[in-house]
């Protein structure tokens, strides 16, 4: 159409881009975009306002493009029809505005439809894409094969399974079992689920609703999406689950409402942990069935790197299994470590994916290990990103899994010790009610919450192009956290009222009546579910089993431990001299948790320096202890020095006994730590300094398997200054007000600049930090184990090889490393290197200067320690050679660094 305005004619057109290929690979658009003009729909046609251009962010073919499906082109002509520049206003007589549409990029997110002021845009399925094949092999299979043959990505996201939910057709609440007249939950005390508690031991979180949010990380969600969900949780009186990757410093006022998630990547600064409500260990991921995640380099921007304590613009990889414990038998040690860290009143949970054949046994083992709650992640749950084969073929039904977990825990007498949260494929209040009737204490809704923020399941979460700003940080400002959180609250409260109405209709009075009542029937086609729920009458409850008391030492609180050992503790505490205390462990006279409780009591009385004598494998030493220095004489046990911060630690041999006790350290020592320095005058075992964030680690001799696993890049000043103490116990309105104030300040800063310039503000904060450094001397007994610095993300490892071993290290060296470096003195063959790294056989001037400082500090730390005769002589010989001919020492080093990969696909 055309319109006359003074002496300039305006002409508007709508055009579609030409297809880029022909033949079978010309798949065409999955969705067709139709924009009507004024002729087709007078008064409703497109006015070329460019709102759709601004709204659409999707462009997989050219991610760097400023536009997505829509592009507005403006062409100017003079009176003779020649093209002229728009700047030459005097000569312009015709302006042609062309709205170009590229439907191949459309994902049906509906942002353009919802934002168009004229409602001129329609998006619908393209018959040419969908109507191919036969019933057995339809469009999904055929187009999947063509896409793979064309080299397109097989990564997708936010997929909810192949089939539609059958909750309403296959399940029915069994009203025939009502034993009392129906009651009105709105006007009578019936069916009310209020003032519930997550956790059944000392650690508890009071909840006002039975519907929880789920773990979704900062980075997978935008800042605004995370904040909206967090504020909604505070308003609803339920915990906020952070997802793997910690929370933003601006969100620390709500720390007491947050439960941190520790995944296989261990991302985060891991400071101020006593300010949080709890800690969740991630043992399974939704669609990935336990696979580790991968955050693509372009999504790992400067702010994410600041948050996760890694190097920016590098791929972030997480290992598939949770390496801090390899077996169910080791779970109690991890819980013991966390309990020592957090105290007795903080929740410790486990996230478990329900695919294993022995899932019930796993739940029992987790309960016995001491976890306060179990989150069951079922087959129908969603995810940030995964391969299509994982998304389309996943685990079991949430109702079945909840039922199996509940029965297993009851049969062992453990049900009253642990809470269950059920997540995965719960579509609405009816599904939530079924999960609770099957045995869950609480249910989790993830995707349902994102719908409130605009999610239409377009499956582009992993691309960073979400037009609604939910999973794309660049467009997060399209969400207003305050109003979005109110919408989430209204939705959850509506579901909550539905569930209370159903409970009242079943004659139930409260939350406890609902859990495990099993008043439902299954009459669908799934043989597993029919065998479980459909045959005969399902009993209201399983046969009664007495609750079994858990009497392990791990479950004894600090108060109980002190009460049982008051006389002995006070006798030791009388030896406090100023800010120092010597504790004689007597080898086996003080067990691990007792020692931890004793040190905490001493720290509360002003002790800053500890000397622990005659130590023989006690665990959790130093964990959760606020002090300046710890010296240990003897053998250090599993998970000691975990999560320590700004502490100097020395471990020395014990030569005062008939048989020398070496200054060795067992499994998982110094994991996830921020020490000032740790000096161990002996060997260390597996997983030493795994997930370490900052500090210096020196080991006189050798290390075990997976030393320095996922070593981070240093603790930024941003986290050193963070303090949420003043918000502990504060009224929720004060917390919400502070969250809003901080976000408004951020939004104002964001509005004044471009997204890239906004991110650069965080770049300098990353440069000011110091990466962790670990230096090993190596001993005569053995060399370094396999997987040294696996998945490292910024730290530096040094192997001095003072005993001159010909082959100082094992295999898979630095495998999966994304940032950082390893300096190894001695022969390292190419076949010993892990995937994604390369070896450099020369050192730069900066490398030599760095190594000189590390060697000098290493010699100062251990030259005065009597380790053993053979090692002492080797250290003297190394020092003499180093002082006489330093170049001969430096020439023996090689350097291992990561190979940058720009083509790797995101899999987080």
pLDDT in tens, 613-660: 999 999 999 999 999 999 999 999 999 999 999 999 999 999 988 889
Percentage of the chain modeled with pLDDT above 70: 92
In the structure, what pLDDT confidence band is assigned to residue 738 with cuts at 50, 70 and 90? very high
Q: Are 385 and 296 in contact (CB under 8 A)?
A: no
What is the mean pLDDT of the segment spanning 438-447? Answer: 94
In degrees, to the nearest 5, what angle opens at C-alpha 264 toward C-alphas 261 and 266? 60
Per-residue pLDDT at 705: 96
In the predicted model, is pLDDT for residue 468 greater than 50? yes
Q: At what angle do helices 481-505 and 732-751 cross, to 10 degrees?
A: 140
* Mean pLDDT for all residues in the chain: 89
Per-residue pLDDT at 181: 57
Backbone Cα Rg of the chain: 31
Strand partners, 156: 386
Per-residue pLDDT at 541: 47
In the predicted model, is pLDDT for residue 844 greater than 60? yes
Whole-angstrom Cα distance, residue 863 to residue 33?
74
pLDDT in tens, 806-839: 999 999 999 999 999 999 999 999 999 999 999 9
Domain parsing of the chain, residue ranges: 2-152, 189-518, 696-711+769-908
Per-residue pLDDT at 81: 87
Per-residue pLDDT at 823: 98
Which of 498, 519, 353 has its CA nearest to residue 439?
519
Secondary structure of 892-907 in HEC code, one letter for each residue: CEEEEEECCCCCCCCC
Whole-angstrom Cα distance, residue 690 to residue 262?
13
* Residue scoring higher pLDDT (556 or 175): 556
Q: Are 704 and 684 in contact (CB under 8 A)?
A: yes
Per-residue pLDDT at 553: 56
What is the mean pLDDT of the segment spanning 198-210? Answer: 95
Out of 191-195, 537-541, 853-857, pick the least confident. 537-541
What is the mean pLDDT of the segment spanning 128-140? Answer: 85
Contacts of 274 (CB under 8 A, 6+ apart): 342, 343, 346, 624
Tallying the residues shown for the chain, one arrives at: 908
What is the mean pLDDT of the segment spanning 149-178? Answer: 74
Which of 534, 382, 386 has its CA nearest to residue 444?
382
Out of 379-388, 533-542, 777-786, pick the least confident. 533-542
Contacts of 358 (CB under 8 A, 6+ apart): none
Q: Are 185 and 498 in contact (CB under 8 A)?
A: no
Beta strands 240-244 and 278-282 are: unpaired
**CATH superfamily of the 189-518 domain:** Aldolase class I (3.20.20.70)
Whole-angstrom Cα distance, residue 800 to residue 454?
55
User: Taking the model in full, what pTM does it have?
Assistant: 0.92
What sign has the CA pseudo-torsion 320, 325, 330, 336?
Answer: negative
In the structure, what pLDDT confidence band is assigned to residue 750 with cuts at 50, 70 and 90? very high
Which of 95, 38, 511, 421 has its CA nearest to residue 241?
421
SS3 356: coil
Which of 667, 573, 679, 594 has its CA nearest to residue 633?
679
Whole-angstrom Cα distance, residue 414 to residue 419?
10
What is the mean pLDDT of the segment spanning 399-410? Answer: 92
Per-residue pLDDT at 318: 82
Per-residue pLDDT at 470: 94
Secondary structure of 584-636 in HEC code, one letter for each residue: EEEECCCCHHHHHHHHHHHHHCCCCEEEEEEEEEECCCCCCCCCCEEEEEEEE
Strands (E), 171-218: 171-173, 196-198, 205-207, 211-212
Per-residue pLDDT at 2: 47
pLDDT in tens, 754-803: 999 999 989 888 888 999 999 999 999 999 999 999 999 999 999 999 99
In the predicted model, is pLDDT for residue 380 greater than 80? no
* Dihedral angle of Cα 819, 822, 823, 827, to the nearest 10 degrees: -130
């Amino acid at each position: 159409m055309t319109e006359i305005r003074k002496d300039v004619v305006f002409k508007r057109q709508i055009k579609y881009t030409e297809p880029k290929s022909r033949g079978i690979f010309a798949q065409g658009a999955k969705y067709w975009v139709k924009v009507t003009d004024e002729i087709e729909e007078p008064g409703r046609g497109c006015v070329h306002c460019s709102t759709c251009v601004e709204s659409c962010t999707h462009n997989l073919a050219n991610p760097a493009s400023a536009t997505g499906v829509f592009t507005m082109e403006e062409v100017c002509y003079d009176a003779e029809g020649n093209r002229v520049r728009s700047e030459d206003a005097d000569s312009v007589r015709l302006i042609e505005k062309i709205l170009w549409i590229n439907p191949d990029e459309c994902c049906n997110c509906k942002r353009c439809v919802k934002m168009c002021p004229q409602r001129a845009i329609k998006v619908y399925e393209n018959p040419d894409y969908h109507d191919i094949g036969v019933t057995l092999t339809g469009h999904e299979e055929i187009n999947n094969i063509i896409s793979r043959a064309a080299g397109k990505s097989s990564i997708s996201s936010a997929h909810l399974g192949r089939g539609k939910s059958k909750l309403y057709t296959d399940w029915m609440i069994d009203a025939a079992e009502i034993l009392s007249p129906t009651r009105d939950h709105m006007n009578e005390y019936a069916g009310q689920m209020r003032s519930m508690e997550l956790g059944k031991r000392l650690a508890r979180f009071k909840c006002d609703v039975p519907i929880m949010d789920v773990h979704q990380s900062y980075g997978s969600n935008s800042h605004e999406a995370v904040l909206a969900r967090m504020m909604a949780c505070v308003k609803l009186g339920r915990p906020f689950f952070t997802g793997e990757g910690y929370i933003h410093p601006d969100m620390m006022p709500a720390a007491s409402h947050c439960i941190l998630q520790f995944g296989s990547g261990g991302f985060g600064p891991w400071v101020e942990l006593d300010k949080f409500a709890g800690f969740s260990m991630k043992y399974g991921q939704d669609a990935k069935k336990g696979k580790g995640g991968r955050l693509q380099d372009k999504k790992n921007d400067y702010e994410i790197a600041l948050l996760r304590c890694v190097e920016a613009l590098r791929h972030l990889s997480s290992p598939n299994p949770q390496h801090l414990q390899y077996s169910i038998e080791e779970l109690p040690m991890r819980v013991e470590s966390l309990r020592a860290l957090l105290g007795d009143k903080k929740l410790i949970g486990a996230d478990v994916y329900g695919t294993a054949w022995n899932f019930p046994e796993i739940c029992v083992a987790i309960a016995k290990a001491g976890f306060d709650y179990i989150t069951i992640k079922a087959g129908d749950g969603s995810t940030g990103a995964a391969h299509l084969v994982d998304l389309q073929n996943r685990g079991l039904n949430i109702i079945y899994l909840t039922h199996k977990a509940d029965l297993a825990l009851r049969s062992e007498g453990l049900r009253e010790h642990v809470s269950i949260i059920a997540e995965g494929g719960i579509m609405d209040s009816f599904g939530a009610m079924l999960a609770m009737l099957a045995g869950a204490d609480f249910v989790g809704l993830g995707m349902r919450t994102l719908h409130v923020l605009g999610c239409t399941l377009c499956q582009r979460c992993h691309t960073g192009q979400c037009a609604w700003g939910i999973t794309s940080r660049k467009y997060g400002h399209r969400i207003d956290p305050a109003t979005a959180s109110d919408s989430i609250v209204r939705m959850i409260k509506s579901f909550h009222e539905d569930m209370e109405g159903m409970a009242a209709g079943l004659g139930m009075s409260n939350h406890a009546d609902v859990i495990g009542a099993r008043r439902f029937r299954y009459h669908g086609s799934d043989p597993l579910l029919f065998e479980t729920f459909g045959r005969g009458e399902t009993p209201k409850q399983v046969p009664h089993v007495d609750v079994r008391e858990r009497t392990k030492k791990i479950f004894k609180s600090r108060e109980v431990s002190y009460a049982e050992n008051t006389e002995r503790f006070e006798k030791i505490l009388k030896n406090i001299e100023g800010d120092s205390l010597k504790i004689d462990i007597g080898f086996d006279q003080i067990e691990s948790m007792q020692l931890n409780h004793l040190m905490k009591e001493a720290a509360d009385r002003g002790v800053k320096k500890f000397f622990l004598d005659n130590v023989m494998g006690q665990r959790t030493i130093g964990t959760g202890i606020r002090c300046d220095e710890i010296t240990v004489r003897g053998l250090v046990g599993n998970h000691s020095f975990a999560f320590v911060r700004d502490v100097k630690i020395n471990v020395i041999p014990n030569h005062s006994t008939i048989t020398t006790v070496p200054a060795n350290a067992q499994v998982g020592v110094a994991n996830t730590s921020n020490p000032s320095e740790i000096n161990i005058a002996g060997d260390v075992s597996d997983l030493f300094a795994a997930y370490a964030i900052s500090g210096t680690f020196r080991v006189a001799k050798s290390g075990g398997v997976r030393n320095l696993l996922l070593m981070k890049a240093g603790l930024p000043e941003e986290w050193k200054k963070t303090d949420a103490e003043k918000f502990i116990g504060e009224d929720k309105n004060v917390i919400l007000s502070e969250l809003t104030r901080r976000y408004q300040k951020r939004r104002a800063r964001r509005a004044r600049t471009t997204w890239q310039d906004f991110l650069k503000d965080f770049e300098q904060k990353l440069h000011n930090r110091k990466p962790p450094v670990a230096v090993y001397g190596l001993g005569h007994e053995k060399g370094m184990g396999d997987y040294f610095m696996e998945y490292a993300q910024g730290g530096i490892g040094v192997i001095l090889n003072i005993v001159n071993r010909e082959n100082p290290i094992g295999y898979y060296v630095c495998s999966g490393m994304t940032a950082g470096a390893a300096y190894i003195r001695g022969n390292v063959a190419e076949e010993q290197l892990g995937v994604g790294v390369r070896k450099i056989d020369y050192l730069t001037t900066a490398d030599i200067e760095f190594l000189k400082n590390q060697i000098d500090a290493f010699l100062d730390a251990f030259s005065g320690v009597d380790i053993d005769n053979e090692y002492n002589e080797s250290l003297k010989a190394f020092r003499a050679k180093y002082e006489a001919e330093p170049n001969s020492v430096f020439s023996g080093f090689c350097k291992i660094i990561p190979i940058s990969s720009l083509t790797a696909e995101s899999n987080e």
